[in-house]
Amino acid sequence: MAPPKTFTQEELNEAVTQALAKAPRSGVTKEDLADILKTVIPATIMAMDQAKTQSTHEQTLKAIKAKLALTEKCSICRQVVGDGKGRGCGGPWARDTNGAFILQADGKTRIEKPEQFHVKAVIYPTDPIALRQWDGIQINGAYYRSNGPNHEIWIPKVNDIAQMLLKYEEDQRIQQIGRKFARQSGSLSGTGGRSIQAPTFQ
C-alpha cells in the first residue's frame, strides 16, 4: 500500500484560493464555498493522518511478526524457526524462494512441508560400547535420540549431528577401552539405509 500524499499548509492555502477564484463560474458563492472548505479540509487532514498512522501500525506489526519468527520454536525439531534463509532450522512450513511462508487459500494458514528444511534420520550409536552412556545429541537445548537402530526422527537439514555422533562414539571408546584400541565406527543413516553427510548447523 503506497503512503498517502501529504500537503503542506501553503499547498492547501493555494488550493483554497484557486477554488474560491473559480466559485462564481460554477454558480457557487465564495461564501458558500468557504464554508464547505472549512469542513472538508480538516476532515481531509484527519483522514490523511489516520492513513499515515495505519501505515505505521502495519509496518510495526510486520516487524513484530518477523522478530517473533526468529524466536519461534519448530514443532518437529525444537530449534528456532528463523528466517528460512540460513538462520534457524526454517520451520515445518513451506516457504518460497524469498523465505516467506506459503499460505493456503484462506490467506492465513501456513502449508506444512517439514521435508523442505528437515530430514528423517536414525540418531543412535552403532557401537554397543557407546550405548552405555547414551542420552542423545544436544543442540541448543534440544536432544535428538532415536529409540533404537531403526527409529527415524526429524532433524534439521543443516546440522552437524553426524560429526557429533561420531565424536561421542570415539570419546566413549577411548574412555572405556583406551585410545590404543579405539576404532572409528558409526554413521548417521537416513531412509533406506543411505548415509547422510550433514553440513554444519547454523
Radius of gyration for the chain, computed over Cα atoms and rounded to the nearest angstrom: 32
Q: CA 191, CA 110: separation in Å to the nearest integer?
A: 26
Query: Could you tell me the residue ranges of all domains in the chain?
Result: 9-69, 118-193
By three-state DSSP, how is residue 164 classified? helix
- pLDDT by residue (tens digit) across 73-86? 999 999 999 888 87
In this structure, what C-alpha cell is assigned to residue 111? Answer: 502449508
**Would the pLDDT of 93 be above 80?**
yes
**DSSP H or E run through 20:** helix 9-26
Find out whether 123 and 153 touch, Cβ atoms under 8 Å: yes
pLDDT digits (tens, 9 = 90+) for 150-198: 999 999 999 999 999 999 999 998 888 765 554 544 445 555 555 444 4
